[in-house]
A and B are shown apart, each in its own frame.
Chain A
Amino acid sequence: MNLNENHFQIFGVPARFGMDLEALETRYHELQREVHPDRFTAASQAEQRVSMQLATRVNEAYQTLKSPLRRAEYLLHLQGVDPEFETNTAMPEEFLADQMEKREQLEAAVAASDWQRLIALSSDLRQGQDSLLSKIDRQLEAQGWNEAAATLRQLKFLEKLGEEIGAAEESMDS
């Protein structure tokens, strides 16, 4: 393993969206068993430094590969495709309308401290994410990079909504 390898190479798995998460975790633990700083407390300082770099790298790779959204983003990055999260705000009208409505529902649920509605919104959101993830899986397999980038932008939107729901839960909790 060297620091120039990409995340997939570090884990020795094919660079594709489909991922066996259990096998990935097993591999993660095997790698950390070898490189984690706890294994090098008696080693030379040079080895300790390398150990920290590699353990950091393995963590970064694992976090990226584990999350479908970040994995998709990384696959596009390897293809040199920029998902243009900041600049490209063109979205299908239907999607935007749906998002507006969900955000209004969220506000209403918070205003009424309505846990049930919050939970319903969460599960709604998860369904939406799942369907976009199967879509992006097909697009990436077909090497439709630009289509995949468009789907990724929508997923990012949903992720933000998810964070807002989480924040709402937190504020209602305290």
Chain B
Amino acid sequence: MALLQISEPGQSPAPHEQRLAVGIDLGTTNSLVATVRNGIAVVLNDHVGQGLLPSIVRYFRDGRTAVGRDAEREQSRDPKNTIVSVKRFMGRGLKDVTHAENSPYDFVDSPGMVQLRTAAGVKSPVEVSAEILKVLRARAEEALAGELAGAVLTVPAYFDDAQRQATKDAGRLAGLNVLRLLNEPTAAAIAYGLDNAAEGIYAVYDLGGGTFDISILKLSKGVFEVMATNGDAALGGDDFDQRLFCWVVERVKLAPLSAEDTRLLLVESRAAKEFLTAHDEARISTRLASGEAVDITVTQTEFQEMTRQLVAKTLAPTRKALRDAGLDVADIKGVVMVGGATRMPHVQRAVGELFRQAPLNNLDPDKVVALGAAIQAGVLAGNRRSGDDWLLLDVIPLSLGVETMGGLAEKVIPRNSTLPIARAQEFTTFKDGQTAMSIHVVQGERELVADCRSLARFELRGIPPMAAGAARIRVTFQVDADGLLAVSARESTTGVQAAIAVKPSYGLTDEQITRMLRESLDHARDDVQLRVLKEQQVEGERMLEAVENALRDDADLVSAEESGALRADLDALRRTLTCNDHRTIKSAIERVNRATEDFAGRRMDRAVKRALAGRKVESL
């Protein structure tokens, strides 16, 4: 089937001009990688023709890993060292982990993200995810016969800042140039929208292995605009397995299970759940390591009854998203179903009833997210062709706020604001001569800080000493197109830039990333220095090309003098690219950066004027 025809053959740039870019769906249960080939988005398969890579990583004592089907096969033999559904732990503390009691893992409750003790040492969920990404990266580089220029990683739309940051870190750790984090339902909407030339307001209902998202999008003339999003970052197909598992344990009156038997029975439960999608009943028949035999039949009706509440739990966020978008179900033109868990008949029925229309199932719910990500990756990597003129406008899923007196959260950026967005907030000192203050940033909709997710504590230092209340510290919260937050601060009366020390509550510090990078490279017999050098060289080359193109396109925007100085900086950068010191390259890049600041502003100004040309006159 020709899915997603983007351009006429012959219109596409010559293959050697194509930058290799992929979209990766890093899923709870399965992960996959896709790319755009000859204008068509395709999933890249492994050697045996499988597209889906089970998101399972097994650690061995000698530091080796097995990823995917190899790890899956042995999971109930070595559950403690075989990590499944690691996505549930990304950017999460131990207290946030649901079903911890049914997990065989040896959790380490570190101050930030929870960690797992394995035969190969303590591993962060970021490292585990990076192992999955490395396999997909290798698969893609082999299939495309070249190094990847960049990748788009998908995340659940309802992921908070900590979970997004963790995903991006995993990409970096796997040696990927992460072009963008893309929300999963939005990726699906791109794939669906382009394939069907859809116009109007659509809902994307995405029930994956461990997460649920609902997004409402407006598709008009090549613009994909997210109007509202909602969801539950800890609700998915896994929970249906858990319900069935508990039901079996209760029915068969099993004694408390070992980790091995727990995993075994969970795997059996999942198989039964999948079987029930097309059958009236399923039989679970297995012998546990304990010697006990399990042989029980579950009917479709029983299964639906025991999981009814889980389905209901997806409907409340769906109604909330509609309310936030200011819409009624009658305004929704179509409901696109995404994620393997939407195959369950009672999920289909509930969604159909709520929206009063049959849901759309004409895309493969397991693959559509990766395909959409691949399309965006191609465009972001610069492979934009005629017909690729679409634009994506996404939103922040959860409000950002700061802690105020009495442990209350004051909203700074409301949920569903279109990205990028920035808000400034003013703070003042409460003591004479105070030179430092701390700001606690939280994310969530609840009034109490304790009920929201703590993102980071910022320590502002270097505030000029003044009388209490005289200092005006303007703190700017900027959320970029990936939905990631950056904070800067300035004292308004003196203009002194306050220094910010960030202590992420869940994310990893730069030092931790460097350590993980070093550890991961030990096994690959690679060299950190070399890797960093390579990164800077690539960035330097990108920079040279970008500025040279700009100088060619808008030569009239720079004076001869300016252009001479710029070219000198560019030549200097070009010379450093062959040297072996990444710091030298970095400082040359920074010099070019500073030198092009004004030029960049003027170019952008021209682009905007061009966009408005012809319209301004008539409206004034």
Contacts and interface: CB of A to CB of B under 8 A. Distances in A.
Interface string B584-620: 0000010011101101110111011111100110011
A131 interface: no
A41 B611 contact: no
A51 B604 contact: yes
A44 B573 CA distance: 13
Interface in A58-83: 59-60, 62-63
Interface in A146-174: 166, 169-170, 173-174
A59 B615 contact: no
Interface stretch (B338-346, B416-424, B450-458): B416-424
Interface string B379-419: 11110000001011100000000000000000000000111
B481 A36 contact: yes
B243 interface: no
Contact of A56 (B221, B422, B550, B597): B422
A54 B481 contact: no
A156 to B, nearest CB: 16
Given A44-B592, A169-B323, A37 B420 contact: yes
Interface in A10-31: 12-14, 23, 27, 29-31
B546 interface: yes
Nearest to B383: A42
Contact of B179 (A27, A41, A50): A41
A38 B550 contact: no
A23, A34, A41, A46: most-surrounded residue (chain B CB, <10 A): A46
B242 interface: no
A41 B620 CA distance: 34
Interface string B575-589: 000000000000001
Q: Is the interface of A mostly helix, strand, loop or mixed?
A: helix
Contacts of B180: 38, 41
Contact of A29 (B223, B379, B380): B223
A76 B45 CA distance: 60
Interface of B is mostly: helix
A34 B391 CA distance: 10
A46 B422 contact: no
A32 interface: yes
Chain B CB count within 10 A is highest, among A37, A38, A170, for A38
Contacts of A14: 619-620
A38 B601 contact: no
Interface residues of B, number: 56
B480 interface: yes
Given A27-B612, A45-B593, A50-B600, A63 B418 contact: yes
Contact of B547 (A13, A33, A44, A49): A44
A13 B393 CA distance: 22
Given A12-B615, A56-B478, A29 B543 contact: no
A166 B323 contact: yes
A50 B546 contact: no
B608 A44 contact: no
A35 interface: yes
A35 B389 CA distance: 13
B4 to A, nearest CB: 18
A2 interface: yes
A91 interface: no
Contacts of A51: 604
17 contacts: A1-B608, A2-B605, A31-B608, A31-B611, A35-B607, A37-B480, A41-B150, A41-B179, A44-B592, A46-B596, A52-B420, A54-B608, A59-B421, A60-B421, A63-B417, A63-B418, A170-B320
